[in-house]
Every structure is written in C-alpha cells, then in structure tokens.
Structure 1
C-alpha cells in the first residue's frame, strides 16, 4: 500500500510503499527525483522519461520526493546524469558518509522520518534553489509553450534548455509534456470525461491524449486509471 504526506521540507512529499505483490507499482514520470530507503540501503531515483517498472525487489520502501528542480542542488549531481536511473547514494557521496547516514535512518522511529530528517539537514547546508526553476515549472504547467516561457522569464532558449537539463533531467519540451500528462491524469481521475480532459489539459484532441498516455505510461488511459494509483518503488 502506498501512503504519502507533505514533508516539513517545502514542496517535498514523504511516502511509504509496501507492494502487495512482486512487480506491483508503476512509477509514472512527474519531473521529480526521490531519496529512497529500501532494505536498509539509501538510493536515489532520477527523473523518469517513461514509466518505471519495479525490478522485483520485495519488502517496504520509503522515500522523500523532491519538488521538480530542487534535488540536484541537494545531491550535488545534475539531474540529467541520473535520468531514468536508480542508483545507490554511495555512488554519489563518499561511502563512509553514506554508511553513517544509513545507520541513522535505520535507527529512526521509521525510515520515512529518518529520510525526511536527512533531507532537512542536507537542505539546511545548501543554498536554496534558484527561483527561476519554480517559475519554469509554473509557466510550463500552466500550458505555456517553451518559447512563451522563455520570453516571459526573460531567458534565451539555450539558457532555458541548459537549466532544464541540469535541474529537471531533460529539456523544457519534455518537462512540459510530463507536466501535461499529470494534469490530464488528475482530471481524468476526478471523473472528467476523456474528451474534456484532453481539451482542459492542453492536448489537440482525445486521440492525442491517448497516444501520449500510452507512450509515457506504457498503458492505455482506461487501464491506467483502473489500477491503484501509486508513486513509489
């Protein structure tokens, strides 16, 4: 079962997931990165461009999902280097430090709280994210084109692309597409008819929505909505 709550770290979400069966839980792209705990180990989930399917690992998971664009500064790694990857935190930070952090998380009252404390300590020693990153997400999530976003924010197309690769893991067009998918899924899950969902989310028509959902999630829209929604490992 997947459960989440708002984190004390602004914009982040703390979650736990205990898959009911091997292979359960399709992770859809959302522009985010996660700090993960599983079986006593610390890992990082990079930004996805397609649905991530679990590799069969069983047992409970916990995670902190960071607001789009905020994790690279905390981890010290550009997002595009982790795109579509799950890596051990010890591959990014000194192994001895990660062992100490893992011991602290494992000794916490629960792994999710231990991860949240780790993220809060890391954020306290890191410069806050560039406000431009949140502005990019806000503009694209409102349905603005990449060109209109660049103009509105007063940045050139090349700078916007470089910034997006480093902060989100992919260019602004891909980020806009992923944000549009999540807008559409939120509408459809609330009961909005598919044709109206397509129009309100910014698709050309319902067929465009169906193609995008299948390509990014690997499932038809109706089947995807019929599954238990969860965002975890």
Structure 2
C-alpha cells in the first residue's frame, strides 16, 4: 500500500489497521499550536494571551497549594522562592490584590497585598522565611517593622515555617505587635486550606479578608 514502505501502517492481529503518528510530527504540531496560542483548555487562549512559562508556573503553584492543604508535611519539601509563589496564588485566590517582588530587589518584603474594607484601600506586606532550622530573631523582626512603617502599609505579616525564638515571641512591645504579626508553618497550611475551601464554595459569607489574614498569628 501507499504508506507500507514508510512503515506508516500499524497492522494489528484484530481490528482495523491504524495509521502511525511519529513523535517528531506530534511535537512539531504541538509547538505550532503553542505559537498560535491554541490550547485544549476549557477557556481558549487568544492572540493577546499566549501560553507562557509564567502561566504554566502559576497553575503549578496552585496545584502545590492544594497539595499542601491536604498533606501539610509537603510544605517542608518546597524551596523558599516556590513558597512565595504559592502564597501569591493563595492570597489572590482568597481575594487579595497581590504583587510578588523580585527576589533580588524585594525591598524588605516578598508580597504586597491589597484589599478594600469599608471603602478604604488597605495594604499589607508579607515577608516569608522558609529556613530549615534557624528561626528569625529580634533583628529581622525589627527590620520588617521598619519596612512596614516606611512603606506606609496598614500592617505586616512575618511568616517563618521554622517558627520563632522565645525571646522574640515574648519580647515585643505592643506598638510593634500591632504593626507586625507572626505566622508559623501552620498559618501557611491554614491559608492553603482556606484557598481550597473557597474553590469548592465552602466559604464563610461575610468573612473579612483582614480577619483571615490575622487569625492564628501572634
């Protein structure tokens, strides 16, 4: 037959023969579709919003957030920059406006969050420390308090998955405590779980974004 010499036909013991598709041809077709901004997603991607590495990474971070919500110990297998990206997706999914800073020029914070409460635009800064053993001390905390003040933010959240030293927890003055709250690994897990709950529509009506941000913090 026409394609036999090229071994294009797959002859099977039973059933009709099938035309083979070679890997290089499938790959070339896939690359062509990507360049044209065509995907198999439910929402088609048009010329103005083509597939990019950033979009792929952001969707992957959402999947990881769901994984952490179900299996909290997976949190400690993440790299520090990935955790920042995951929290960006989580906060955005919860309803905050989000801005992820560049790792080399973060200005003393990793995420800027915004929300509107009672006709007021509020801004919160988030600094993430994802260390294996060390715990942030008084100096890191004080520096972050200064960052929150200098940026005119409403408040700050310092997250440390390794926890905080007892001297820091018990040595803060009240004015600093009102400016910066502390959240440990369980706060990250809680945020991921809230993110999943909202995805499934299990959301407490009337829940204020600042409330969920500060719940479970010190």
**What TM-score range do you get, normalising by the shorter chain?**
under 0.3
**Structure ranking higher on relative contact order (CA contacts 8 Å, 6+ apart):** 1
Larger-Rg structure? 2
TM-score, scaled to structure 2: 0.26
TM-score, scaled to structure 1: 0.24
